[in-house]
Amino acid sequence: MKCKNVIIAGFIILTLLCAATVFGMGNKEKDTIKVGAILSVTGGGAFLGGPEAKTLEMLVEEINNTGGVDGRKIEVIIKDSQGSTENAISFAKQLIEEEKVLAIIGPSTSGESINIKSICEEGQTILLSCAAAEDIVNPVASYIFKTPQKDSYAAMKIFETMNKMGITDIGIVVGNTGFGKGGKAQLEKYAPDYGINIKIAEVYEASATDLTSVLTKLNNAGIQAVVNWSIVPAQSIIPKNMKQLGMSQPLFQSHGFGNIKYVEAAGEAAEGIIFPCGRLLVADVLPSNHPQKAVLVKYKNDYESKFKEDASTFGGHAYDALMILIDVIKKVKSTDKAKVREAIENLKNFVGTGGVFNFSASDHNGLAIDSFEMLTVKNGKFMLLY
């Protein structure tokens, strides 16, 4: 009896061992690195998530065709959140618990990113957000990073330029989205530091079709410049309305304006708009010794030849997120979440599309204020302001 039990037990153990070996071998063969991505491919944030998703597809194809990461293939599971926080939350849980991904790239918008921050932190899964708001990495959470420049830098950069131009009294208008409200808060926070006086601040509907009345109100407040902070189509309605009203004040926009389609939509009225932006849009005119030149030109050319549309800075944020991840995996030669996380935190001088990243325990964005360049529109094209 006893003997029989031992035999059975031995048999079971042997079977398990065999299974484990087979499983292990299989695992080694298709030992892919699984990365999740939550992007607003459709919906209100489609102009962000669309280029981001395309960029990731392009990179994954390129990396896997050229031997993968240290011989391992990479797999990116893209989930379309449609810009909704609820979707982002459930996808984050699914990616962490079921797919057991190493890291999540995205979400595209600030609201979604802030809402899944705690889920990723508790699930000890790296989050590389592609959204702008400073709150994503402030306060710092150990597993949460972001690749776009902080919106506070955009505000400071705008005020710096105003100081140079001798502008003190301004009016601001923002779209009623998370991005717009975040921008308004940053502008109001940093204006006193630069001696700027915000005389009037107004919020408009994201679906606004004509803004001459609110601009009339701004004009009557006696201002020297207008700042518009939004990601909605009103970005091209404002310059048109200002010209139609005969307002001659300079118009500053946020980094949300970094899409040539908005310039096309505004036509002649877009001339002279000033806005802070990453260097992707002016990659061609950067001096050849600029550290970012090579990365920017390659990404821009690859993207534009593959998808037959203009590259945008937003796709660049996803590029940076995936490339940072791959870079550190190669460095630590492991996909252990804690090790990779630590390696990102210690990553220095990583040249991306957004700027040169120098992460630290207290800075999970890693970009400095000089990652923004002030651009302007000249003859329907983006140009460096200085």
Partner 1 sequence: MSFDIFLQYFLSGITVGSIYAVVAIGFNIIYNTTGIINFAQGEFVILGALFAITFTRTGFIPLPLAILFAVLITTGIGAAIEIVFIKWIKNPSVLRLIIITIGISIISRETAHHIWGEQVMQMPYFTGTSTSSVIILGASIAPQVLWVLGISGIIVIVLQLFFKFTLTGKAMRACAANRTAARLCGINAKMMVTLSFMISAAIGALAGCITSPITQTQYDMGSPLAIKGFVVAIVGGLGNSTAAVVGGLLLGLIESFSIIFIPNAFKDVAAIIILLVILFFKPSGIFGKKEESALKEF
Q: Return the range that interacts with partner 1 (CB under 8 A); candidates 214-222, 324-332, 362-370, 374-382.
A: 214-222
Using DSSP, state whether 123 is helix, strand or coil: coil
> Scanning the structure block, which residue is given the tokens 């096309």?
264
Cα(60)–Cα(207) distance, rounded to whole angstroms?
Answer: 36
Q: Which is closer to partner 1, CB of 55 or CB of 365?
A: 55
Given the DSSP bridges, would you call strands 144-146 and 169-175 parallel, antiparallel or unpaired? unpaired
- Residue 205 found at the interface with partner 1 (CB under 8 A): yes
Residues 6+ away with beta carbon under 8 Å from 146: 113, 128, 129, 130, 131, 136, 137, 364, 365
Q: What minimum distance in Å lies between the beta carbon of 229 and partner 1? A: 14
H or E element at residue 92: helix 85-97
Binding to partner 1, residues 18-37 (CB under 8 A): none
Q: What minimum distance in Å lies between the beta carbon of 246 and partner 1? A: 6
Q: Return the range that interacts with partner 1 (CB under 8 A); candidates 210-218, 281-289, 327-335, 356-364.
A: 210-218
H or E element at residue 382: strand 381-384
Residues 6+ away with beta carbon under 8 Å from 170: 162, 191, 196, 197, 198, 199, 223, 224, 225, 226, 227
Q: What minimum distance in Å lies between the beta carbon of 191 and partner 1? A: 18
Cα(110)–Cα(5) distance, rounded to whole angstroms?
Answer: 61
Binding to partner 1, residues 167-186 (CB under 8 A): 173, 176
- Residue 128 found at the interface with partner 1 (CB under 8 A): no
b/e code 49-78 from CB counts within 10 Å (16+ = b): bbbbbbbbbbbbeebeeeebbeebebebeb
Angle, in degrees to the nearest 10, between helices 178-190 and 151-165: 50
- Residue 204 found at the interface with partner 1 (CB under 8 A): yes
Binding to partner 1, residues 39-68 (CB under 8 A): 42, 44, 46-47, 50
Q: One symbol per residue from 261 to 290: x for binding partner 1 (CB under 8 A), - otherwise; what is it? A: xx--xxxxx---------------------
Q: Which is closer to partner 1, CB of 56 or CB of 269?
A: 269
Give the binding-site size for partner 1 (rule: CB under 8 A): 36
- Residue 243 found at the interface with partner 1 (CB under 8 A): yes
Q: Looking at 27, 244, 301, 362, which residue binds partner 1 (CB under 8 A)? A: 244
Chain residues in the site for partner 1 (CB under 8 A): 42, 44, 46-47, 50, 173, 176, 202-205, 207, 209-210, 212-214, 216-217, 220, 233, 236-237, 239-240, 243-246, 261-262, 265-269
